Amino acid sequence: MTTLRFYIATLIVAGALSTQAEMHTFNLPDGREIEAEIMDYNSKLGQVELKREDGKHVKVEPTLFVDADQKYIQEWASLDGFRNTRLFKISCKRNLVEKWKEAEEGMVTYSDGSRERETVSETKFERHVYELILENRTGIPLEGLTAEYRIFYEQDSLQTKGSKVKTEEKRISGSLDISRLDAAEKKMLTTKPVVIHDKEYTGDITYGERLREKERGEVKGLWLRITASTSGGQTAVREIYDPSGVEGKYSW
């Protein structure tokens, strides 16, 4: 049996199985088709590793398939650098860019019934952004890059008279313009700002018909999703969580 026939016999599997999202129909020159998912490409050996519908892994030469599928394999391989965390480096850092205070005045009612106008609360604001650094060490330009992110934070608020402080989970969504990253290029991008506050009230007082409590805010983390696309429509996705505990805790 020739090498080509051996490869074909190894690849073809009888029976209909469910097709995964990453599955591709590879075409042989004799008209037969094979459903498989690319797992790896070894440029030194010139072999592509495929995962068949039955879960078995096989390694073959791309020239086994028709030209269109050889191009598909080449495009998939071009995303290898993007997938590699050493060759396409992504780092992020949360920065506090601004702090300020605001005081609130009002009429304070004391236990003896007297009323005076004075400072009844002080609010401390913080403005945070995430700085993202992308570095292309693949040796080739990366194109078709898009980025989306979610910043998660919590903010206390007091809604009505006599109510307790309510903690609300909030998020800021945004996208970043990347498009292309040349070989050896490093690019820094900045997210939209998120503003949180801590508010503290003076003494145990009633002011403005509302019982005052302390309010606090906290930035919980970032979820970054970067996608690379080829001209043939293939995509690869990298997801970054800062801190790592964001993963699995929040929904996109």
State the pLDDT confidence band at 163, using cuts at 50, 70 and 90: low
Average pLDDT of the chain, as a whole number? 86
Long-range CB pairs of 98-107 (<8 Å, 24+ gap) are 98/125, 98/126, 98/127, 99/124, 99/125, 99/126, 99/127, 100/124, 100/125, 101/125, 106/207, 106/208, 107/207
- Strands 217-229 and 142-157, sheet pairing: antiparallel
Q: Give yes or no for residue 160 having a pLDDT over 60.
A: no
64 phi, psi to nearest 5 deg: -65, -25
Half-sphere CA count of 197, side-chain side, radius 13 A: 15
Report the pLDDT value the prediction gives residue 8, as an integer from 0 to 100: 56
Taking only the tens place, the pLDDT of each residue in 56-89 is 999 999 999 999 999 999 888 888 889 999 999 9
Which is more confident, 177 or 85? 85
Q: Kindly list the structural domains of the chain, giving each domain's residue range(s) and its CATH number in brackets, ordered by start.
A: 3-78 (2.30.30.100), 88-246 (no CATH)
Find the angle CA(232)-CA(236)-CA(241) to the nearest 5 degrees: 160
This prediction has a pTM of: 0.73
Position 57: which residue type?
A: H
